[in-house]
Amino acid sequence: MIKDFIDGMNAGGFYIVKNSLKGVTTNGLTYLTITLQDSSGTIEAKKWQVNNDDIDTFKMGNVVYIDGEVIDYKDKLQVKIFGGNVVNPKNADMDSLIPASKFKKDELIDKLKVFLSSIKNEKLKKIVYDIFSIYKEKFISYPAAVSNHHDFLRGLMEHTISMCEIAKMISSHYSSLNYDLLISGCLLHDIGKCEELSGVIATTYTKEGSLIGHLVIGAILVDESAKRLNIEGEEVTLLKHLILSHHGKLEFGSPIPPLTREALILNIIDEMDSKMMALDKAFSEIEGGEFSQRIFPLDNRSFYKLKSEKKE
């Protein structure tokens, strides 16, 4: 693993090419500056004496197997790449290459099934099941973001399940809440990210993601599903409202603010879960008794970690 590298170590193994830049030496020879990634972190690498096959091999987003060595360059570890080959992601252990949820896939899927089956309203249940039948494979693997929170393998599913668990607790306290609508909103609030994001490797925004965004994409998916299933009624409108309003304010990306109990609670739950994950991420890099780096989604504040907390 990259985090265990030491000078002189054999660096051969599987990695993701997170970035690749072409350069030219003073002698006019082409070389590549490559950022390699596994689940433990990233490291800069160099490939000298580059040919066209190397440029194709070390494209951003490729999974590669390399032959290389760890070297100390100006007091910083670097990988000198001797050669490499592109690997089909299906033949690689993605959990070892990408930061992943602490929860196993099967554990999250089992929880997802419980919440799906807990919806009693037939209209909502049919829409939710219909959309998940289309996006199941993406949903169970995609991150929830490019950065900031749940930006790892299965992050979207972990974030969604966490929100459902919180919603269940809140619903048991506030009996006025419509459980079916709230849980349906939790399950589908970020489903548009299956179209907004490019995938699990070197995640970026798609053209649709940049031009439309996951809130509007999610509302469109609900509308299309309702028409496909010949479902009409208030439930469809309310579910679309939950998705469109879950960021809370126009400046945060919502075209409409929350205007129902369930929409208000959904926004609060989403904000709480994403901010707690951002804190967990920042705290994992420091010891107890220290302040974190400034956290952009938390008003760019530094947060203090209790002395009793250990570095993960």
DSSP 50-81: --HHHHHHT-TT-EEEEEEEEEEETTEEEEEE
52 in the same domain as 119: no
In whole angstroms, give the CA distance from residue 246 to residue 271: 9
CATH assignment at residue 120: 1.10.3210
Residue 82: inside a domain: yes
Last residue of a domain, one of 91, 121, 146: 91
For the chain, the C-alpha Rg in angstroms (whole number) is 22
Say whether pLDDT at 311 is over 70. Answer: no
What is the average pLDDT across 60-83?
93
Residue 117: inside a domain: yes
274 in the same domain as 178: yes
Residue 180: inside a domain: yes
What is the average pLDDT across 3-25?
92
Q: How many domains does the chain have?
A: 2
Residue 308: inside a domain: no
Which pLDDT tens digit goes with each residue over 117-147? 999 999 999 999 999 999 999 999 999 998 8
* Strand bridging mode 13-24 / 30-38: antiparallel
158 in the same domain as 249: yes
Mean pLDDT of the chain: 94
8-state DSSP, 17 = E
Say whether pLDDT at 312 is over 80. Answer: no
User: Does the global pTM surpass 0.75?
Assistant: yes
Say whether pLDDT at 26 is over 90. Answer: no
Which pLDDT tens digit goes with each residue over 258-295? 999 999 999 999 999 999 999 998 998 899 999 999 99
DSSP 242-294: HHHHTT-SGGGT-SS---SHHHHHHHHHHHHHHHHHHHHHHHTTS-TT-BPPP
Say whether pLDDT at 161 is over 70. Answer: yes
272 in the same domain as 136: yes
DSSP run (H or E) holding 86: strand 76-87
Q: What percent of the chain is modeled with pLDDT above 70? A: 99
Which carries the bigger pLDDT value, residue 296 or residue 133? 133
Which carries the bigger pLDDT value, residue 41 or residue 107? 107
CATH assignment at residue 74: 2.40.50.140
132 in the same domain as 244: yes
- Cβ–Cβ contacts within 10 Å for residue 299, how many? 7
How far is residue 216 from each of residues 89, 152, 210, 256, measured CA to CA in Å?
31, 23, 11, 11
Q: According to the model, what pLDDT value does residue 130 have? A: 98
- Cβ–Cβ contacts within 10 Å for residue 180, how many? 21
What is the average pLDDT across 300-305?
95
Show the tokens assigned to 247: 């960021």
Say whether pLDDT at 51 is over 80. Answer: yes
In whole angstroms, give the CA distance from residue 269 to residue 185: 11
Please give the backbone phi and psi of residue 34, each rounded to the nearest 5 degrees, phi first. Answer: -120, 140
What is the average pLDDT across 235-244?
98
What range defines the domain where residue 201 resides?
Answer: 99-282
DSSP run (H or E) holding 240: helix 234-245
Which pLDDT tens digit goes with each residue over 214-227? 999 999 999 999 99
Residue 292: inside a domain: no
